[in-house]
Amino acid sequence: MQAVNYELKPRVKEFLEGIKGLYINGEYVLSESGKTFQVLDPATEDVIAEVSEAQKEDIDKAVAAARKAFDEGEWTKMEAAERAHLIYKFADLLEEHREELAQLESLDNGKPYETALSDDVDGTVQHFRYYSGWATKIFGKTTQVSPDYVTYTVHEPVGVVGQIIPWNFPLAMAAWKLGSALAVGCTVVIKPASETPLSLLYAARLFKEAGFPDGVVNVVPGAGRVAGEAILTHPDVDKVAFTGSTAVGKEVMKKAADQIKGVTLELGGKSPAIVLADADLEETIEGVFSGTMYNHGQNCSACTRVYVHRSLYDQVVDELAKRADALKIGPGLDPETDMGPLVSAKQQKTVLEYIEKGKEEGARLVSGGTKAGEKGYFVRPTIFADVEDDMTIAREEIFGPVMAVFPFDTVEEVIKRANDSDYGLAASIWTTNIKSGHYIAGKLQSGTVWINDFGLEWETMPFGGYKQSGVGREMGGDYGLANYTEVKSVFVNIKDPNK
């Protein structure tokens, strides 16, 4: 794989110089301990930045800043319309810096630049604009139960929120959590993943420029076992929102239980795609393939289990293999790249081990299955056929560009097999019979179901999972707001004093 020379934006070059500080109380500061960690370009394995590593004492400072901003600052005292204006102004600034943010997202995550620009950055801008509008639409209710009382509910911000962000969509996942939390008036301590902290650290300065009061948003990159745990267990953090693996999500839930602390969890998936005999093959193959390989397969809703009606099975497998073989793998900033590297050496090793497990257990490898290139964390897009339901690659989340394809004979059979999973995040159905699509959608145990499409995640629709795929919903207007509010019931005695 040849090296590619690409020109970084001047503001990106400037940002990457020196040690990147934590963003606490409206300014960049070095960690109290002086500890730092290196951020790598997964396409080259080169060090691209050095970042301060938050320790417990740094989290204490960040939480104290967020608590003061919530309890004593102007943020919770300002009118909702002003809060909406600041969020919208922040979105405008993100748009002004969209190319810089996309380069940073591509550099430390590995995703193709154009994808980072159009999906991650532009999607983030749209998300903040959408939730700025919700700041003025937080409604309580009145109930008419007795002529002697006025009763109503009030939705109040929960307080200081801890948010822990994954490495697969660093900026977008931050937006999913920040948008609704800020709209209702919470203050935030947010920890990006150590592999991919750059875009959120760069964006942090824009909160100040937009006019946010100091302490409202604090960005603290660091190790999950240190910084993440300090956020989770801090007594002044009122709510935690976490996106990551189901295994870690279980630990988050256990630790939060010690303080009866509310949690929102967006966790793993093993999403099925069901291809019926009447499916439009061209549309289906394109949708299923991109639904698995998008973001190098590092996507919790990726359709890694593809069930194809037996009458189409061989044809679909062959076409999927052709598409996998044709993908151009390379650095994310190379404009000719279709698929970039995995995010880290650890993730590459994990994915390759799953591929070997699939071969050992008897699945038929029809495409890919190996590393690509001498340097970088590349894995070729991989298609397995003749997979059995009890194989490891059929049951465990791989989080890489690996698809398992299964034949099926009847609709009831495939519904049962699709639901036979610990996960229930997403699913897709491919058919030209809309009645069949609706029927199957009603039977699937999934938080999101797409019919003749895959991967649509709009801020207007809630996103979350059944079973071990999570707790709660993000986005979706007031569904997302509910994560960050407490509901207060108020009773007012209006009895006639003369009676």
Q: Under a CB-based contact definition with an 8 Å cutoff, are residues 418 and 427 in contact?
A: yes
How is residue 378 written in tokens?
């590349």
**76 phi and psi angles, rounded to 5 deg:** -80, -10
Q: What is the DSSP letter of 280?
A: -
Write out the two tokens for 227: 């910084």
DSSP H or E run through 199: helix 198-210
Q: Which residue is associated with the tokens 């929120």?
A: 161
Q: Rg (Cα) of the chain, in Å, rounded?
A: 24
Report d(CA 253, CA 140) in Å as an integer: 29
Q: Which of these, 305, 343, 304, 301, lies nearest to 475 by C-alpha position?
A: 301
User: Counting beta carbons within 10 angstroms of the beta carbon of residue 464, is it exposed (0 to 12), middle (13 to 18) or buried (19 or more)?
Assistant: buried
What letter represents residue 240's amino acid? V
What does the block give as tokens for 68? 């003061």
The DSSP symbol for 119 reads: I
Tokens at 366, concatenated:
């029809």
- Distance, in Å, from the CA atom of 140 to the CA atom of 484, rounded to the nearest integer, reads 15
Helix residue ranges per DSSP H, 53-186: 56-71, 80-96, 98-109, 113-115, 122-134, 170-184
What's the rounded Cα separation, in Å, for the pair 186 and 436?
44
Residue 32 known to be catalytic: no
Dist CA 139 CA 30 (whole Å)? 41
**Catalytically annotated residue among 100, 105, 229, 266:** 266
Q: What is the DSSP letter of 461?
A: S
| 430: its two tokens | 């491919």
Please count the other Cβ atoms lying within 10 Å of the Cβ belonging to residue 315: 12
Q: Which two tokens stand for residue 316?
A: 């679909």
Q: Are 168 and 122 in contact (CB under 8 A)?
A: no
Helix (H) or strand (E) segment spanning residue 219: strand 217-219
Q: Which candidate, 244, 379, 385, places its Cα nearest to that of 312?
A: 385
Taking each helix axis from N to C terminus, what angle separates 98-109 and 80-96, rounded to the nearest 10 degrees? 70
Q: Could you give the residue numbers annotated as active site?
A: 266
